[in-house]
Structures are given as C-alpha cells and as structure tokens.
Amino acid sequence: MDLKDVTKDLTEQTAYRIEQRFKEMLRTNPRYRNLNAGNRQLILDLIAKYKDKIRHGIAPSAYTIREDMYHLYENRLKLNLTYNDLDQIRELLASFKG
C-alpha cells in the first residue's frame, strides 16, 4: 500500500476511512515508518484540506501544491520535518493531481 492508494477515490470516502487506510499504510509499508505522530497528523490535515476541494470538483493546481510545499519547507525545523519527510509529503500532494 502506498500514498496513492490512500488518496484513491477520495471523494467517496469518509474521514474515518481515510485515516484508517493511512494507518494501515503506515503499518504495512516500511518506507513510511520514519514519520512521527506530528508528521502523521500533518499529513492527515493536508489530506482533509485537499479532500474538501476535490469533493467540490476543484483539482489542486501545481501552484497550490508548490505553495504548500514552500510553507512546509520554510517551517521544517519547527515541524521537525526531515528532507525524507518532505519528499514523502510532496509525493502525497502530487497524487492529488490525479
């Protein structure tokens, strides 16, 4: 299971189901074990933000994704994000573009 599997059919899933799939991915995929609880919550918040937009038929633009990545990169020390975490978050945001 990968991040794209978590965000697949995003409009048809409840917040609980998305969180459930995300936690399952964290358990089964060793690549994402480096994410601490704060980073996990940050990713769930990003998923919720984009889910609301996608439900209304608005696909996130490349500019929006770049803007979010910029703010995460700018605050990476406050958020305790490593470069590996940023790469994984960038992959998640890219999966929303479809």
Give me the pLDDT at residue 15, please: 78
Give me the pLDDT at residue 29, please: 81
Mean pLDDT of 52-80: 89
- How many angstroms separate the CA atoms of 56 and 47, rounded? 14
Give me the pLDDT at residue 75, please: 93
Domain span at residue 45 reads 3-96
Quote the tokens at residue 10: 């995003």
Mean pLDDT of 48-65: 84
Give me the pLDDT at residue 1, please: 67
State the SS3 of the chain.
CCHHHHHCCHHHCCHHHHHHHHHHHHHHCHHHCCCCHHHHHHHHHHHHHHHHHHHCCCCCCHHHHHHHHHHHHHCHHHHCCCHHHHHHHHHHHHHHCC
Please give the model's pTM, rounded to 2 decimal places: 0.78
32-55 pLDDT, tens per residue?
777 888 888 888 888 888 888 887
Counting the structural domains of the chain, the total is 1
Check residues 71 and 16 and name the one with the higher pLDDT. Answer: 71
